[in-house]
Amino acid sequence: MYDNNILHLWSLPDRHKQMGNIEGGVNKQLGRVIMTYLQNKTMELNSDYYEWTDIIHDQFRKEFNNFKKHPKDVDLNKYVPPDINIDQPPKYNKNDLVYRRLEVPIDKFGNRLHNMKFRQGDNRYETNKPTKVLQVLAYSSPNPWRYILNGFPNVSYAEAELLPAKNETEEKFIVRKIIGKKTEKKIIYYLVWWKKKLKKDSTWEPRSKLLEDNLDEYIKEYEDDIKVKRKKKRLKDKANK
């Protein structure tokens, strides 16, 4: 899409608040106009009517666009951005470690829980994964400071959506799965594929460190999978003989 000069913006999955201006504004108003028309036609004809394209014509588009502003309608040479109130310094600075507020409930392994609705007692913040602040932004709003976090380039978080990771000294990443194993100088290492990382960016981690981080379930899953594959291979070799 980029090579064809198509700008396709996208955000963090499940972060529906970022779509509020579209869903609650434009789409809601469009739906109201169209559904009112269909309802009136249904009552007029005394039968269901679905031809909503009847009213999508030049006049409809013209009237609707009167409520919108496009960049081309603004003289950028005369535009003066509103003042940004930065009397209060930002709560977090670049490279600070924070916990972000979750959009959906997850378990300690980063997997989604039940029906994606929070229950009483569910974690509301990703407290098992401290994340580094990459950039601090200022906006013209009563709460001007927003933050971009490592691994989340398409969303900015308000201060109310973050908690300080006071007792953490480094970032942590969530394991997707273990995909390899080796032994060097009598030390066992596992090849870890991290969530939100490409497979090629997997890293070798010592078994002792994974156990220290309570990741024994991933080790067991990998070892069990290896046993199953070896058993299948033996049976296949036996059948071929």
CATH T-level assignment (fold) for domain 175-240: OB fold (Dihydrolipoamide Acetyltransferase, E2P) (2.40.50)
Residue 164 makes CB contacts below 8 A (sequence gap 6+) with 92, 96, 97, 98, 99
Q: Which of 106, 95, 111 has its CA nearest to residue 195?
A: 111
In order along its 241 residues, the chain shows pLDDT tens digits of: 666 666 666 677 777 777 666 666 677 778 888 888 899 999 999 999 998 888 777 767 777 776 665 556 666 677 676 777 778 899 999 999 999 999 888 877 777 877 778 888 888 998 888 999 999 998 877 788 999 998 888 889 999 999 999 888 888 888 889 999 999 999 999 999 988 788 888 999 999 989 988 888 999 999 999 999 888 888 888 887 7
| For the chain, domain boundaries | 16-73, 97-164, 175-240
CA distance linking residue 151 with residue 133, whole number of Å: 10
Q: Which of 164, 192, 157, 155 has its CA nearest to residue 177?
A: 192
229 token code pair: 């594959």
pLDDT value at residue 25: 65
CA-only gyration radius of the chain, Å: 27
Q: Which helix (H) or strand (E) holds 228?
A: helix 216-240
Write down the pTM of the prediction: 0.59
CA distance linking residue 78 with residue 52, whole number of Å: 40
Provide the 10 A C-beta neighbour count for residue 55: 14
pLDDT value at residue 70: 59
Residue type, 74: V
Q: What's the Cα-to-Cα distance from 70 to each of 66, 74, 76, 79, 176, rounded to whole Å?
A: 10, 7, 12, 13, 42
132 token code pair: 């580094």
pLDDT value at residue 181: 93
